[in-house]
Amino acid sequence: MPQNALPRSRGRARSGRGGGTKTAAAKPAPAGGLRRDVFVVRKGQRGAGVHLIIDLHGARRLNDIEHIESVLRRCADAAGATLLHVHLHRFQPDGVSGVAVLAESHIAIHTWPEAGYAALDVFMCGRTDPDRCVPILRAAFSAKRVDVNELLRGRLG
Residue 105 annotated in active site: yes
Of 9, 51, 75, 105, the active-site residue reads: 105
- Choose among 138, 85, 135: nearest CA to 107: 85
Residue 125 annotated in active site: yes
The letter for the amino acid at 95 is G
- Chain-centre distance for alpha carbon 144: 22
Residue 110 annotated in active site: yes
Cα torsion 54, 60, 61, 67: sign? negative
The letter for the amino acid at 52 is L
Instruction: Tell me if 84 sits within 8 A of 23, measured CB to CB.
Output: yes
Of 9, 51, 75, 125, the active-site residue reads: 125
- Residues labelled catalytic: 105, 110, 125
